[in-house]
Amino acid sequence: MTTMAPTLAATGRVDGEPFGLRPRSVTIGRVGIYAFLIISAIFFLIPLYVMVITSLKGMPEILAGNVLSLPQSPTIQPWIDAWLHACTGRDCSGLSPGFFNSVKITVPAVIVSIGIASLTGYALSFWSYKGANVLFGILVFGAFVPYQVVVYPIILGLRTVHLFSSLPGIIIVHTIFGMPVLVLLFRNFYAGLPIELFKAARVDGASFWQTFFYIMLPMSLPITVVALILQVTGIWNDFLFGVIYAGRANWPMTVQLQNMVHTTQGVPAYDINMAATIITAAVPLIIYFVSGRWFVRGIAAGAVKG
């Protein structure tokens, strides 16, 4: 032992030379990346910040000038007004009717469209029936049809079955327009599952519906969450279909918001408009935050193979 070179420790390693974890150093590139990220974050957060503080100020304070300053006497009156009293066109009962209209449109449309799409995707990927590929081709093609082209034919169609300007009418329209993307999503998900799973179910004697409900549907949680995010945000944010097909009584929140912002006489009520906009945007935001976590969890738990 004593004959060893002095730089060698008893274990035989060379002291003073690279050993173990490589130290991280701060490079210019890294500083640049962080600077870029921080600037982008500020860029996207400032409008939200302005909206929130403006909605908490009174009108005199807003008109006084500084957009970025914090409210001196915070008030939630604009929020109450936006929800209950602001005028949307001729009605002055705030956004709340529009909110409930949107709920009445979104919830059934999301459930129906996802239900039909997952069933269609399942049938397309596992039951190779006659014309399956043609049907799928048509559906995919449907994803590329511009909405404007079919607006008027749909009006005629809905009028023929007496569903134009009605709640069922707008729900049907949303369901149909969700189909191409949703079916594509579900079909590709099911096509990625091992075909042997389907074979095993057939050998076990499960029927078309039993295979779907007991085996395929429980496995499709991750993709269902994706579809849910897509559909809720898509339908909630929709303006065009709502204003055309829903009818005045069922106008969704987005249409009401637009009416509110545009029917002000005199000085626009910036505080109320800001509050109303935040309320309208809140639903998709909440969906993102809540189901985003479920989404990740679903992918992690859905380990099919391993």
- The residues binding other proteins (CB under 8 A) are 194, 196-197, 199-207, 210, 214-215, 218-219, 302-306
Q: How far is the CB of 203 from other proteins (least distance, A)?
A: 5
Q: How far apart are CA 305 and CA 186, in angstroms?
A: 19
**Closest CB to other proteins among 135 and 219?**
219
**Closest CB to other proteins among 133 and 207?**
207
**Closest CB to other proteins among 151 and 206?**
206
Report the SS3 class of residue 22. Answer: coil
* Type of residue at 121: G
Q: How far is the CB of 212 from other proteins (least distance, A)?
A: 12
CB atoms within 10 A of CB 97: 16
Percent helix, strand, coil in the chain (nearest 5)? 70, 0, 30
**Closest CB to other proteins among 221 and 261?**
221
Q: What six digits make up the tokens of 216?
A: 């395929």
For the chain, the straight-line distance linking the first and the last C-alpha, in angstroms and rounded, comes to: 50
> Distances from the Cα of 142 to the Cαs of 147, 177, 197, in angstroms?
10, 8, 30
8 Å CB contact between 275 and 80: no
**Closest CB to other proteins among 113 and 224?**
224
**Closest CB to other proteins among 194 and 268?**
194
Q: How far is the CB of 274 from other proteins (least distance, A)?
A: 45
Q: How far is the CB of 207 from other proteins (least distance, A)?
A: 7
Residue 6 main-chain phi, psi, to 5 deg: -60, -30
> Distances from the Cα of 57 to the Cαs of 53, 84, 280, 295, in angstroms?
7, 18, 19, 37
The single-letter DSSP state of residue 71 is P
Q: How far is the CB of 196 from other proteins (least distance, A)?
A: 4
Which single residue is written with the structure tokens 């060893």?
4
The HSE-up count of residue 293 (CA atoms within 13 Å, CB side) is 5
Q: How far apart are CA 28 and CA 35, in angstroms?
A: 10
Q: How far is the CB of 136 from other proteins (least distance, A)?
A: 19
Sign of the torsion formed by the C-alpha atoms of 54, 56, 61 and 63 = positive
**Closest CB to other proteins among 24 and 305?**
305
Q: How far apart are CA 4 and CA 54, in angstroms?
A: 75
Q: How far is the CB of 29 from other proteins (least distance, A)?
A: 40
Q: How far is the CB of 72 from other proteins (least distance, A)?
A: 56
